[in-house]
């Protein structure tokens, strides 16, 4: 039997309630008129080059941001503190007129833009051990030089630890951190739009419709969900969950995602049994795709409230594993026993029933029974979620 002490995770997130949070817009510009420092949402720009101007030629016949003449870099500077958030979602419409420059940049630690005509991003996040990890995508997409606007979007979801870049809504790059709950690290510098971008002196609009949002806190885990699991069996994706519905008319919506960030509804199941008592559910998703596929369940009550399950990464094998948590408390110490059919890497997270992350741990699991000792989780019920790199994810409510 393998014994592992579960360390305390320094970075935690808090939720104000158990309803799904809305995205907060931090900054928005449309550059439909001068001065181009005027924001639609958020603070106005601190400064911009003297030649930058609003002219016709933007998206859909509107005005946009033109570097102007004489040839100068745009360098629209925004207060950096506006963007000091754990997770971010930023997008901008861009038409290429050069091969180098950044849509967004902040100090030496963050840049989202173009080098040699290729799209790239560089950003920093916590490494889960008190330090910082720098993520550099390298060249991921050749930006067409065809006089057409496209929407370039970068998202880092700190709740899941997943980053993505989309072009016109199509994913061109993803990254997954070694654990969820890791926040972005920002320098004290200001945010700059259009660093090194001057349209090569062509006096044309290159930017339009910029919007930056904060990724909301993770939707709270509610005691509806006693366990969840997704595995590949007999050619179908089998999603299982056990839940308690608290309102008549509750629907469980099954959602799927290929990147763990953007989820789409695939079906719904009506809550069964008696309100307040646990019931088990199974849904078979007949789809050939299973590699890097994610699922989650949304409990939708008739009053409009939504409660979201932990994200389940689909197992690519018919093998399953069980989670048996012995809630033997000595002080505030819990002991977890996990039956692993095969060796692999695991990630354990522990949440309270309001969705607050209490502990997180990465490690290796041997085949057979493994024991994990979790300190200082308290005596209240918790949701334990374990992801095995070969076997998928299972979550369970522990009293």
User: How far apart are alpha carbons 187 and 355 in whole angstroms?
Assistant: 29
Shared-domain flag, residues 255 and 169: no
- In this structure, the answer to whether residues 146 and 292 fall within a common structural domain is no
Indicate the Cα dihedral angle 16, 183, 153, 89, nearest 10°: 20
Whether residues 310 and 229 fall in one domain: yes
Based on the structure, what is the number of domains in the chain? Answer: 2
- Alpha-carbon distance 169 to 153, whole Å? 8
Burial (0-12, 13-18, 19+ Cβ within 10 Å), 351: buried
Residue 2 confidence (pLDDT): 38
Domain-ending residue, one of 166, 197, 214 = 214
Whole-number Cα distances in Å, 347 to 74, 203, 341, 385:
44, 52, 16, 8
CATH number at residue 132: 2.60.120.200
Q: Are residues 97 and 204 in the same domain?
A: yes
Residues 144 and 10 in one domain: no
Domain containing residue 39: 24-214
Q: Strand, helix or coil at 332?
A: coil
Let me know: does 148 contact 125? Beta carbons within 8 Å: no
What pLDDT, on the 0 to 100 scale, is given for residue 132? 92
Residues 6 or more apart whose Cβ sits within 8 Å of residue 260: 157, 160, 162, 176, 294, 311, 313
Instruction: Work out the number of other CB atoms within 10 angstroms of the CB of residue 94.
Output: 27
Does one domain contain both 203 and 285?
Answer: no
CA distances from 242 to 228, 308, 354, 384 (A): 7, 13, 18, 14
Among candidate residues 194, 214, 234, the one where a domain is terminated: 214
Q: Based on the domain organization, do 104 and 179 belong to the same domain?
A: yes
Q: Which helix (H) or strand (E) holds 347?
A: strand 344-352
Q: Say if residue 12 is in the same domain as residue 34.
A: no
pLDDT, averaged per 10 consecutive residues of the chain (399 residues), comes to 32 26 81 97 97 96 96 97 94 97 97 97 89 94 95 90 90 86 92 97 96 77 68 82 83 88 89 81 81 83 81 66 59 67 74 67 69 64 72 69
Same domain, 58 and 191: yes
pLDDT, residue 21, reads 41
Buried b / exposed e over 152-181, threshold 16 CB at 10 Å, is bbbbbbbbbbbbbbbbeeeeebbbebebbb
Final residue in a domain of this structure, among 214, 230, 265? 214
Total residue length of the chain: 399
CATH number assigned to the domain comprising residue 363: 2.60.40.10
Per-residue 3-state assignment (H helix, E strand, C coil) for 18-63: CCCCCCEEEEEECCCCCCCCCCCECCCCCECCCCCEEEECCHHHCE
Residues 6+ apart with CB under 8 A from 97: 199, 200, 202, 204, 206
Pair 8, 28 in one domain: no
**The pLDDT value given to residue 348:** 76
Q: Is residue 60 domain-shared with residue 7, that is, in the same domain?
A: no
Task: Clarify whether residues 366 and 247 are in a common domain.
Answer: yes
Give CA–CA dist 114/4, Å, rounded: 44
Can you give the pLDDT at residue 8? 26
Q: What is the pLDDT of residue 260?
A: 76
pLDDT value of position 373: 66
């Amino acid at each position: 039997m393998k014994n592992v002490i579960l360390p305390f995770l320094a970075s935690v997130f808090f939720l104000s309630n158990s309803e799904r949070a809305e995205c907060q817009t931090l900054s928005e510009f449309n550059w439909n008129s001068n001065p181009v420092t005027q924001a639609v949402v958020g603070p106005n720009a601190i400064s911009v080059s003297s030649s930058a101007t609003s002219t016709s030629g933007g998206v859909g016949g509107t005005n946009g941001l033109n570097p102007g003449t004489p040839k100068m870099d745009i360098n629209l500077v925004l207060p950096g503190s506006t963007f000091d958030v754990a997770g971010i979602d930023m997008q901008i419409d861009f038409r290429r007129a050069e091969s180098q420059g950044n849509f967004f940049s902040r100090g030496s630690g963050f840049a989202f833009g173009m080098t040699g005509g290729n799209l790239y991003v560089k950003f920093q996040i916590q490494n889960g051990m008190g330090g910082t990890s720098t993520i550099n995508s390298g060249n991921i997409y050749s930006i067409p030089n065809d006089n057409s606007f496209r929407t370039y979007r970068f998202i880092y979801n700190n709740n899941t630890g997943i980053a993505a870049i989309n072009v016109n809504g199509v994913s061109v790059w993803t990254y997954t951190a070694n654990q969820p709950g890791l926040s972005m690290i920002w320098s004290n510098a200001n945010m700059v739009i259009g660093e090194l971008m001057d349209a090569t002196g062509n006096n044309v609009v290159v930017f339009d419709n910029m919007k930056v949002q904060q990724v909301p806190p993770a939707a709270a885990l509610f005691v509806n969900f006693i366990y969840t699991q997704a595995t590949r069996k007999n050619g179908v994706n089998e999603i299982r969950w056990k839940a308690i519905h608290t309102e008549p008319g509750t629907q469980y919506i099954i959602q799927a995602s290929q990147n763990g960030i953007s989820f789409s509804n695939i079906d719904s199941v009506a809550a069964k049994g008696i309100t307040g008592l646990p019931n088990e559910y199974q849904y078979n998703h007949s789809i050939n795709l299973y590699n890097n596929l994610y699922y989650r369940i949304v409990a939708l009550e008739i009053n409009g409230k939504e409660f979201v399950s932990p994200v389940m990464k689909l197992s690519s094998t018919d093998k399953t594993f069980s989670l048996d948590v012995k809630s033997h408390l000595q002080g505030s110490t819990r002991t977890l026993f996990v039956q692993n059919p095969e060796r692999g890497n695991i990630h354990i997270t522990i949440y309270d029933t309001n969705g607050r992350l209490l502990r997180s741990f990465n490690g290796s699991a041997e085949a057979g029974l493994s024991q994990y000792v979790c300190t200082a989780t308290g005596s209240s019920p918790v949701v334990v979620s374990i992801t095995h790199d070969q076997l998928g994810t299972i979550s369970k409510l522990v009293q």
